Amino acid sequence: MTTDLLAPLDLAFWNIESAEHPMHLGALGVFSAHSPTAGAHAADLLASRAAAVPGLRMRIRDLWQPSPLRPMSFGSATREPDPDFDPLNHVRLHAPTTDFHAEAGRLMERSLVRGRPPWEAHVLPGEDGVSFAVLFKFHHALADGLRALTLAAAIMDPMDLPERRPRPEEPKRGLLPDVRKLPGLVRGALSDVGRALDIGASLAVSGLGVRSSSAFTSEATGTRSTAGVVIDLDDVQRVRKAQGGTVNDVLIALVAGALRRWLDERGDGSDGVAPRALIPVSKRRPRTAHPQGNRLSGYLIRLPVDDPDPLGRLDAVRTAMDRNKDAGPNRGAGAVALLADHVPAIGHRLGGPLAGQAARLWFDILVTSVPLPSVGLKLGGNPVTEVYPFAPLARGHSLAVAVSTYRGRVHYGLVADAKAVPDLDVLAAALTEEVRTLITACGS
């Protein structure tokens, strides 16, 4: 295992974290248990397998001394092997429970220990004896959604996947750029400046003109609750085929409709409300120099919560997403994350707290998609039946939505500030109702 500097966006996630807003991803997998002791056996398997996965042994260490070979590394951090790695510090077996989501919310509140490899696996046996759950937590500086999936899958039962070709080694970089590449570097720098100006202008415009709702923002309380919703992918496909667009368009429109129901039911009112939703877009390439680093951009759209017509909401989402795709992920207000590449390490270190506070000025709610394999996942021979992804909750925000498709079903994972959103179950129920409403509106 080797040591490498954190990619700029990883470093940003590492520095914007606070006790009230931990920056870890989560995923709650629910398993069908073959026996009442399946949960305890699963915890033993996770602990024994973790030691053999190099990525799970990596800790993050802050750098406060400049290196002659890396003069710009002052204030950065490295990802490096933990010489004292102990899987038992990361895998925990809990007492049996009747409510996996109640336990998941409590555990999502807790920050990961920064001196150790920043991940945990919590095994939650079900009191019914026929199920158990595992909550995986990975710091966003260690892994994005795809990388977290890879690390979690490495300690599950082996899967029959196509063999991948080995990644070619990245050529070592010198201290100075190759003079033959200078003209291209200059053009690239000018292009980056143009993109930055475009992003800044789009960000300013995005905050104008349309009312949001106080339901999407909150003061930090550090509390968390989670909820999960499962819908049939065939229902989503029926809507897509009838109305056009993509599956993702339908899934986002369902969120908009559910938010409308939720706001109206709690008495906040949805008239004139169109919250800004950040839709992350992965820019990772298979041969990138930082295969485990975050490479994210995003699209920013207004969720048409104020539109009473479900088909109108879907059309508005589709139009907004098409417009974002035409512009590409390198421009627009949603691409702010790309600016992290142009901030020196010490800038991330000193400006991290301020950047975290700016999230509420940039967007109101996160709606992100997390990829899952099409093959069935198992642990100790016990199959996964449900998978709920959980996104980090940005400072000043009260709600985040993540969605995954697994074996013909769509799983929404909802994370909320528990004190600001005591009725998360109402929003979950609204998502289920919105599916029926949209199907009926399509005449399907």
pLDDT the model gives residue 249: 96
Q: DSSP secondary structure string, 72-122?
A: T-TT-EEEEE-TT--GGGTEEE---BS-HHHHHHHHHTSPPPTTS-SEEEE
Question: Which pLDDT band, with edges at 50, 70 and 90, does 4 fall under?
Answer: confident
| Residue 165 scores a pLDDT above 60 | no
What is the rounded CA–CA span in Å between residue 292 and residue 263? 39
Q: What is the mean pLDDT of residues 387-401?
A: 91
| Residue 372 scores a pLDDT above 90 | no
pTM for the full predicted model: 0.83
Most confident of 154-163, 297-306, 351-360: 297-306
Give the residues across from 402 on adjacent strands. Answer: 368, 413
pLDDT the model gives residue 192: 43
Question: Which pLDDT band, with edges at 50, 70 and 90, does 50 fall under?
Answer: very high
Q: DSSP secondary structure string, 271-308?
A: TTB--EEEEEEE---TT-S-TTS--EEEEEEE--TT--
Burial of 12 (0-12, 13-18, 19+ CB in 10 A): buried
pLDDT the model gives residue 287: 44
Most confident of 276-280, 344-348, 382-386: 382-386
What is the rounded CA–CA span in Å between residue 211 and residue 208? 9
Q: Between 249 and 290, where is the model more confident?
A: 249
The residues, ordered by sequence, that sit 6+ positions from 335 with a Cβ below 8 Å of its Cβ are: 195, 199, 297, 298, 329
| Residue 324 scores a pLDDT above 50 | yes
- For the CA atoms of 210, 251, 422, 145, the dihedral, rounded to the nearest 10 degrees, stands at -100
What is the rounded CA–CA span in Å between residue 292 and residue 297? 16
Question: Which pLDDT band, with edges at 50, 70 and 90, does 147 fall under?
Answer: confident
What is the rounded CA–CA span in Å between residue 219 and residue 216? 11
The residue type of 390 is F
For the segment 13-47, what is each residue's pLDDT rounded down to a tens digit? 888 888 888 999 999 999 999 999 999 999 999 99
pLDDT the model gives residue 222: 86
pLDDT the model gives residue 341: 45
Least confident span in 24-33, 75-84, 177-186, 258-267: 177-186
Q: Between 195 and 281, where is the model more confident?
A: 281
The residues, ordered by sequence, that sit 6+ positions from 314 with a Cβ below 8 Å of its Cβ are: 239, 243, 245, 249, 250, 253, 438
Helix (H, G, I), strand (E, B) or coil at 187: helix
For the segment 260-292, what is each residue's pLDDT rounded down to a tens digit? 999 999 988 888 899 999 888 765 554 444 445
Residue in the block written with tokens 């980056």: 192
| Residue 220 scores a pLDDT above 80 | no
Q: What is the mean pLDDT of residues 121-150?
A: 93
Question: Which pLDDT band, with edges at 50, 70 and 90, does 358 fall under?
Answer: low
pLDDT the model gives residue 181: 46
Closest to 125 in 3D by CA, of 90, 89, 100: 100
Q: What is the mean pLDDT of residues 359-382?
A: 86
pLDDT the model gives residue 351: 46
Residue in the block written with tokens 């975290």: 356
| Residue 171 scores a pLDDT above 70 | no
| Residue 204 scores a pLDDT above 90 | no
pLDDT the model gives residue 333: 46
Share of the chain above pLDDT 90, in %: 54
